[in-house]
Structure 1
């Protein structure tokens, strides 16, 4: 069962949200998974789509988790999805996740895990989520400054320095707004300290054909995390950044099995 509603964050900004549950109401006796989408994504699609990729990738993940006894919250980050447009910010996204997490805790959920895709992985890494039990990352953009070429960074910097109003950016099915601060925040420093302190059970899923978040970068980040039995990385053959069909099913299966082991 899917229920759509709004969660108001600390900035009095409404976040469009979906709750996946077998019941009409919240059931905090069950473990909860919170899904965090990527740049130009939304609560159902994870990341942006084109005609060659499956739509509703997070919807399919949520359905798979629901079938094995989890509840799921998926929400649109500020300025994206169904939300009112404002210039997107990494800092706003981090606060959004923290606010949704507090909302879930106030409902009575105590066993909570997260999935973060691409930029959502960076957000999930930096968010302060006390007592989070498990984290799964799909092709996490831990080093966003590496994802854009030097030429593209210079071009955006020049355009934004000459414009007072935000500019539209995006891909295919939706646009988002970015301004100078959006661009500056997208070039966050390396997250080494956060990686080193990330002690909860963690699974990273990464494609070996990903041109946006390269395998070497993700492996570099993983090796800065605690190296123990609770931290795993799985390289998915033939997976690019916007996986679909049988590749998507692999991501879903590994994610489901990891939560069954660590979040039940």
Structure 2
């Protein structure tokens, strides 16, 4: 595994890890909201499995997260980051690109899709349409007062090179501001979407169910019984589904 850095369109340096020996095919992994390229160990595990299966894998920190340069989180920024990651791997000679996205990272994959670049996707815990969260359940009164006064809030995180992330009001609005038909109908590649059925997944999964009609006929929805949004108790199943999907479509 090689630690790498590349820049987004704003010139911010993004940190990543590139793993695997395949010089032609690469899987780019996109982490979720308030997370980083390790994704609580999930992305470490999946990167290892995907590279052992014969693919190269790039996982990276979105700007404002992990070891990447600082900025406020927004969907627009993260889409730009992924587009920059795609441009980076193309500059390194990779000819075929697949995307793996979890949670908000899955939405970013859908938003950044370009048919000439992306062969296929695997998405877990995806927000495939408008999701209305009660942010009073996620953030403290102090944070929400900061948001009201400045348009941003500060979220403490535990990371070796970062003690907080900055979340913009637009980022929170981005979850609910989504035209599902417009988002999904432009995706021409085969997509595997994996959902659980408990907790947040009980909200996200029905949204995806209603949107599958706008994806390609060879796309597929898998629902894992008993799985929650982090899939921590179902990582074996997620890994198996992803590897099978890569074997067929990548």
State the partner residue of 1:50.
Answer: none
1:28 is aligned, of 6, 23, 30, to: 23
Cα–Cα, structure 1 residues 179 and 199, in superposed 2: closer, same or farther, change >3 Å? closer
Structure 2 residues not aligned, in runs of 5+: none
Question: What SS does the corresponding residue of 1:189 show, helix, strand or coil?
Answer: coil
CA distance in 1, matches of 2:155, 2:176: 17
**SS of residue in 2 equivalent to 1:56:** helix
- Relative to structure 1, the CA distance from residue 205 to residue 170 in structure 2 (aligned partners, 3 Å threshold; closer, same or farther) is farther
Measure, in 1, the Cα distance between the counterparts of 2:183 and 2:19. 30
- 1:144 deviates by 5.1
Query: Which residue matches 1:225?
Result: 215
Partner of 2:196: 207
* Structure-2 residue corresponding to 1:195: 184
Verify the 8 A CA contact 1:40 1:170 in the aligned structure 2: no
Separation of aligned partners in 1, 2:205 and 2:157? 23
* In structure 2, distance between residues paired with 1:191 and 1:170: 31
Distance 1:153 1:43, change over 3 A: closer
1:68 is aligned to 2:53: yes
Report the Cα distance in structure 1 between the residues aligned to 2:95 and 2:230, rounded to whole angstroms.
Answer: 32
Give the conservation status (yes or no) of the 8 Å contact 2:113–2:187.
no
C-alpha RMSD of matched pairs (Å): 2.3
8 Å contact kept, 1:142–1:190: no
Alignment of structure 1 residues 171-190 onto 2, 5 Å: 175-190=164-179
Q: Flag the structure with higher helix content.
A: 2
Q: Tell me which of 135, 142, 145 is aligned to 2:128.
A: 142
Match of 1:52 in 2: none
Which residue among 119, 125, 133 is the counterpart of 2:119?
A: 133
Q: Secondary structure at the match of 1:204?
A: strand
CA displacement at 1:172 relative to structure 2: 6.1
- Structure 2 match to 1:92: 77
More off after superposition, 178-187 vs 5-14: 178-187
Q: 1:88 to 1:150 in 2, by over 3 A?
A: closer
C-alpha spacing 1:152/1:40, structure 2 compared with 1 (3 Å): same
Q: How far apart, CA to CA, are the structure 2 residues paired with 1:128 and 1:202?
A: 11
Alignment-derived partner of residue 51 in structure 1:
none
Match of 1:79 among 64, 79, 99: 64
User: Could you say which residue in structure 2 is the equivalent of 1:262?
Assistant: 249
Instruction: Check whether the contact 1:139–1:218 (CA below 8 A) recurs between aligned residues.
Output: no
- Under a length normalisation based on structure 2, what TM-score does the superposition of the two structures give? 0.88
Question: Secondary structure at 2:244's aligned position in 1?
Answer: helix
Q: Supply the distance in 2 between the matched residues of 1:184 and 1:153 (Cα, whole angstroms).
A: 14
Please list the CA deviations of residues 35-94 of structure 1 after superposition, one character each: whole Å capped at 9, or x if unmatched. Answer: 01100111111xxxxxxxxx3101101111111111100000011111233210100100
Segment of structure 1 superposing worse, 151-160 or 83-92: 151-160
Equivalents in 2 of 1:171, 1:219: separation in Å?
Answer: 33
Aligned 8 A contact 1:28 1:109 in 2: yes
Give the Cα–Cα distance (whole angstroms) in 1 for the partners of residues 167 and 198 of structure 2.
Answer: 28
